[in-house]
Structure 1
Amino acid sequence: MADMLGMMRQVQAMQSKMQALQEELERAEVEGVSGGGMVTVRLTAKGEMKGLTIDPSLLKPEEKEILEDLILAAHNDAKARGERLMQEKMGALTAGLPLPPGMKLPF
């Protein structure tokens, strides 16, 4: 019975930490860059876009396709950085827990 109570406390503590982590990830921002810094995208670690910066030299009709590609590349870079940040934070949160290999907790 004591083991069950201890486990319930661990679960409650984990839920509280998960909520705090969710809030932290909503505030944390990551930046993706492409074109040698000509395009920059800022996202929250949860994937919400917060900003986009485009070098004025790319704002020409003949540069349209290049600009589109650079925006996508910068967005994907920021998204990957946000996912890495989430994995790092989650790894720190779940360190020492007896989770089965490959189990992912939902965000």
Structure 2
Amino acid sequence: MRGMQGMMQKMQKMQKELEKAQQEINETEFTGTSQSDLVQVTVNGQNEVLSVKIKPEAVDVDDIELLEDLVLMATNDALQQVKTTTEEKIGRYTKGLKIPGL
């Protein structure tokens, strides 16, 4: 019985640590940049875009596709940072487990 109770306490502690780590990730802001830092996109840990900053030299009315590519590049960079951080912080709790959404 003691072994089972101890295991339950460890699981509850781990669950609290996991929830804390997830909250930290959700509250963290990640800024992705494009080539030459012409575009910056900031997202939170919930993959919500918070801001987009575009330097004036990135805007060329004759080449809107370049600007679109820069925004896409910066957004993907920021989202990759969220994914990497989540894997680093949450991965130690979920080693080998396939939990949807984590």
Tell me the TM-score normalized by structure 2: 0.85
Equivalent position of 1:67 in the other structure: 67
Which residue identity lines up with residue 47 of structure 1 in the other structure?
N
Displacement of 1:13 in angstroms is 0.9
Structure 2 runs not aligned, ≥5 long: none
More divergent stretch after superposition (68-77 vs 43-52)? 43-52
Q: Deviations over 1:52-93 (max 9, x none)?
A: 11011233321210011111111111111111111111245x
Equivalent position of 2:96 in the other structure: 102
1:53 equivalent to 2:53? Answer yes
Q: What is the alpha-carbon root mean square deviation over aligned residues?
A: 1.8
Structure 1 runs not aligned, ≥5 long: none
CA distance in 2, matches of 1:21, 1:42: 20
**Local SS of the residue matching 1:86:** helix
CA distance in 2, matches of 1:74, 1:104: 29
Identical counterparts, % of pairs = 33
Question: What are the residue-to-residue correspondences of 1:1-107 with 2, within 5 Å?
Answer: 1-92=1-92, 94=93, 102-105=96-99, 106-107=101-102
Q: Deviations over 1:16-59 (max 9, x none)?
A: 11221121111111111112100011111331111111011233
| Number of matched pairs | 101
CA distance in 2, matches of 1:45, 1:104: 20
CA distance in 2, matches of 1:63, 1:10: 57
Which residue identity lines up with residue 20 of structure 1 in the other structure?
K
Which residue identity lines up with residue 26 of structure 1 in the other structure?
N
Which residue identity lines up with residue 97 of structure 2 in the other structure?
M
